């Protein structure tokens, strides 16, 4: 993926706090609309770019909570009291109303991990209680699912480097974005360049534009199933390099907040991975971070990756789209899905401000047993 080298002026964060912001909770909106100087309810969660430096991540042993849920006689019982449970598509995504995620006990959180693994994506509406409990609660929530990833370049709330923030408004963006493309769609699995990329991931918006800014998801399990058995058998023998270098360069060039707190890394992952709990096999390449297939000639690698990316891009029959009504929390399993922001609102003055809780999972397990993952 190419990015522009254009450097935009980035206002100090203090100025961000005075910008016109529409809170995700409609009760926060003034009747007359914009109130440029009003105190922003989520000012404490605006992106801060510390100059801290972090050492390389150490390996850690991930125990997936979904395994515990498998022992439960009814691992979907956490949904028993829901008002509505709707499958967004047959392949991907479940939308739920009437469950307060913040009140789930440890067993319920385990079950949630299993259900997100099975459905790839879950959308929970009416989660104001969760969102308003604040950053200490977000960390406590995320740690149930694994060691929290600290992003090497993104903005975080002051004092909370484990929370990854997205922020864009009509004047500026602190996101990793492509400016010289005909589309803002960039399918990816979050920070797949890490040795242990994330599994269950939680994301919500604090502030949303009145229209636009939906998030797109696709099932990498369904994408794999569409391919011929002969081709899948070949793909399972392959491994690919995932790189964080370009994302770091984006920041080093003065974009985002201009900081790189941990040296960028590259790691080799299987092209087809197996989910540790469900056993589902999923494509694990993405246009944003995957760079080349190990051991193939350049043209071979490029042709295969292009074919897979085109397949991911255009297969709407694997995809789901989430509209951000206020107080929505979305969870996806980064091991079996890909997603893309949809920056169709960049001409609008409205802000889009969100937070992600990103526990790391296991090192990707090859679908082909015994695949050597050394580079
Ligand atoms: Fe993402």
- Please write the tens of the pLDDT for every residue from 156-181: 999 999 999 999 998 888 887 777 89
Residue 192 DSSP code? T
- Please write the tens of the pLDDT for every residue from 272-281: 999 999 999 9
Hey, what are 256's tokens? 């985002």
Hey, what are 120's tokens? 């790839």
Q: What pLDDT shows up at residue 27? A: 42
Q: What pLDDT shows up at residue 84? A: 98
Q: What pLDDT shows up at residue 176? A: 78
Does the pLDDT at position 309 exceed 70?
Answer: yes
Ligand 1 centroid–CA 201 distance in Å is 10
| Alpha-carbon distances, residue 326 vs 27, 99, 360 (angstroms) | 10, 15, 27
Do the Cβ atoms of 173 and 351 come closer than 8 Å? no
Ligand 1 centroid–CA 245 distance in Å is 16
Q: What pLDDT shows up at residue 51? A: 87
Task: Map out the domains of the chain as residue ranges.
Answer: 64-366
Ligand 1 centroid–CA 183 distance in Å is 16
Ligand 1 centroid–CA 303 distance in Å is 25
What is the distance, to the nearest Å, from the Cα of residue 367 to the centroid of all Cα atoms in its chain?
Answer: 23
Rounded CA Rg of the chain: 20
> In whole angstroms, what is the distance from residue 273 CA to residue 293 CA?
14
Question: H-type helices in the chain, by residue range?
Answer: 13-16, 65-70, 106-119, 128-133, 135-143, 220-225, 229-235, 245-252, 298-314
- Please write the tens of the pLDDT for every residue from 204-259: 999 999 999 999 999 999 999 999 999 999 999 999 999 999 999 888 887 777 78
Instruction: Determine which helix (DSSP H) or strand (DSSP E) holds 195, and give its type and residue range.
Output: none
Ligand 1 centroid–CA 339 distance in Å is 6
| CATH of the domain spanning 64-366, picked from 3.60.130.10, 3.40.50.300, 3.10.20.30, 3.30.1490.20 | 3.60.130.10
Does the pLDDT at position 17 exceed 60?
Answer: no
Of 327, 93, 41, the closest CA to residue 205 belongs to 327
Q: Which residue has the tokens 């409990």?
A: 133
Ligand 1 centroid–CA 189 distance in Å is 6
- Please write the tens of the pLDDT for every residue from 278-300: 999 999 999 999 999 999 999 99
Ligand 1 centroid–CA 224 distance in Å is 20
Ligand 1 centroid–CA 81 distance in Å is 31
Hey, what are 1's tokens? 């993926």
Does the pLDDT at position 33 exceed 50?
Answer: no
Ligand 1 centroid–CA 329 distance in Å is 14
Share of residues in the chain with pLDDT > 70 (%): 90
How many helical (H) and strand (E) elements, i.e. helices and strands, does the chain have? 9, 16
Classified as helix, coil or strand, 38 is: coil
Hey, what are 358's tokens? 């990103």
Ligand 1 centroid–CA 231 distance in Å is 28
Residue 28: pLDDT band (50, 70, 90) is very low
Ligand 1 centroid–CA 247 distance in Å is 12
Q: What pLDDT shows up at residue 21? A: 43
Residue 37: pLDDT band (50, 70, 90) is low
- Please write the tens of the pLDDT for every residue from 40-86: 999 999 999 988 999 999 999 999 999 999 999 999 999 999 999 99
Ligand 1 centroid–CA 188 distance in Å is 6
Q: What pLDDT shows up at residue 38? A: 72
Q: What pLDDT shows up at residue 175? A: 81
> In whole angstroms, what is the distance from residue 36 CA to residue 11 CA?
15
Ligand 1 centroid–CA 340 distance in Å is 6
- Please write the tens of the pLDDT for every residue from 118-153: 999 999 999 999 999 999 999 999 999 999 999 999
Residues contacting residue 303 through CB under 8 Å, at least 6 positions apart: none
Ligand 1 centroid–CA 215 distance in Å is 9
Ligand 1 centroid–CA 332 distance in Å is 10
Mean per-residue pLDDT, 108-112: 98
Q: What pLDDT shows up at residue 236? A: 98
Ligand 1 centroid–CA 335 distance in Å is 12
- Which of 89-103, 105-119, 339-353 shows the lowest mean pLDDT across its residues? 339-353
Angle (CA) 261 262 268, round 5°? 150
């Amino acid at each position: 993926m190419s990015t522009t080298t254009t450097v935009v002026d980035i206002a100090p964060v203090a100025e961000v706090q005075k910008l016109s912001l529409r809170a995700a909770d409609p009760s926060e909106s003034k009747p007359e609309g914009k109130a440029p100087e009003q105190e922003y309810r989520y000012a404490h969660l605006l992106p801060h770019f510390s100059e801290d430096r972090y050492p390389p991540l150490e390996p850690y042993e991930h125990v997936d909570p979904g395994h515990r849920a498998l022992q439960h006689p009814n691992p979907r019982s956490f949904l028993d009291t829901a008002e509505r449970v709707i499958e967004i598509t047959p392949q991907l995504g479940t939308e739920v109303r009437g469950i307060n995620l913040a009140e789930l006990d440890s067993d319920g959180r385990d079950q949630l991990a299993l259900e997100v693994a099975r459905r790839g994506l879950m959308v929970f509406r009416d989660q104001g209680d969760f969102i308003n409990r604040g950053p200490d609660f977000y960390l406590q929530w995320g740690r149930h699912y694994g060691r929290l990833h600290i992003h090497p370049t993104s903005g975080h709330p002051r004092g909370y480097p484990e929370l990854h923030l997205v922020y864009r408004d009509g004047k500026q963006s602190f996101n990793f974005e492509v400016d010289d493309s005909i589309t803002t769609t960039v399918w990816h699995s979050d920070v797949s360049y890490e040795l242990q990329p994330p599994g269950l991931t939680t994301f919500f918006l604090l502030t949303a534009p009145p229209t636009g800014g939906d998030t797109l998801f696709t099932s990498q399990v369904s994408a794999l199933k569409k391919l011929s058995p002969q081709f899948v058998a070949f793909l399972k023998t392959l491994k690919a390099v995932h790189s964080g270098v370009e994302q770091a360069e984006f920041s080093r060039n003065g974009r985002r907040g201009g900081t790189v707190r941990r040296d960028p890394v590259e790691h080799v992952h299987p092209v087809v991975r197996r989910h540790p709990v469900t056993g589902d096999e999923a494509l694990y390449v993405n246009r944003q971070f995957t760079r080349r297939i190990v051991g193939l000639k350049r043209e071979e690698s490029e042709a295969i990756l292009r074919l897979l990316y085109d397949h991911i891009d255009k297969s709407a029959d694997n995809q789901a789209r989430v509209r951000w009504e206020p107080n929505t929390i979305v969870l996806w399993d980064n091991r079996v899905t890909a997603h893309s922001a949809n920056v169709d609102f960049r001409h609008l003055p409205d802000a889009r401000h969100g937070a992600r809780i990103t526990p790391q999972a296991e090192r990707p397990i090859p679908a082909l047993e015994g695949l050597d993952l050394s580079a």
